[in-house]
Amino acid sequence: MVPKAVARHRGERKKKRERKKRKKIEEAVQFALAHWIRLEILILLNEAAYTTSRVAEITEIELKKVSNHIHEMLNHGSIEVAKEEKRHGTTVYWYRALVIPEYTREEAEALTEMERQLIAGVIVQSGSAELMAALFKGNLADPRSILSWDMYAVDGQARMDIEQDTVEYLERLKQRQCESVNRVAESKEETIPMIVNLATFQRAREIREPRPSACDPPAKSH
């Protein structure tokens, strides 16, 4: 049997290692989103795997700049190598955004906290890159764009209900995608690339000052 003091020390060391790794994950995401060229690269790699030269060609950004940013992003763990191929004595690499499979709640609960933090970082990075790139381009000013954020103070039952509503909403989006695919197969209509950036989570801070909500009674006038 391992002495309790030793086991506790090992647990503390493991937590310190995990905290250090977590910081790297968070810093990698922050780094990836901090420059407009990296945003352009990220949203391109969100859709498929590309070589450095192809990224430069599509984005019309100088090859050397693209190469430098891709190299830094790869070192930070912001992107990954999808495949490599030998050509004329050199190796050509295809890069892509980090791939994350879809998890059920039960599968997510079976992962370690560090694994879940990594997944969260990748999703925040991909979604935020799309959002920031659209902001730079002016697409968010389109009157048909739907933008919203808010914070809520709710009880345990409401939290479970909100989580379930979110899951059902995502399922409806998948259904809409399938319906669209079937219609386009018939109509040959050109598709519109849409981003739905959705997050439901516990706030990092307690709400110190209650905000007015739709549930509050209207203020009485005198």
Sign of CA dihedral 29, 33, 37, 42: positive
- pLDDT per residue over 109-118, tens digit each? 999 999 999 9
For the full predicted model, state whether its pTM sits above 0.85: no
Q: Which pLDDT score is estimated for 174?
A: 93
Per-residue burial over 121-160, b if 16 or more Cβ lie within 10 Å, else e, is bbebbbbbbbbbbbeeeeeeeeeeeeeeeeeeeeeeeeee
The pLDDT of residue 12 is above 80: no
Contacts of 151 (CB under 8 A, 6+ apart): 203, 207, 211
The pLDDT value recorded for residue 14 is 53
User: Dihedral through CA 144, CA 149, CA 155, CA 160, nearest 10?
Assistant: 50
CA distances from 163 to 102, 158, 178, 199, 221 (A): 16, 9, 23, 10, 37
pLDDT bucket at 15, cuts 50 / 70 / 90: low
Pick the range with the lowest mean pLDDT from 1-10, 20-29, 33-42, 45-54. 1-10
> CB of 24 within 8 A of CB of 18?
no
Q: State pLDDT tens for residues 70-120.
A: 999 999 888 999 999 998 889 999 999 988 888 888 999 999 999 999 999
Q: How many CA atoms lie within 13 A of 202 on its CB side?
A: 6
- Which band of pLDDT confidence, cut at 50, 70 and 90, is reported for residue 2? very low
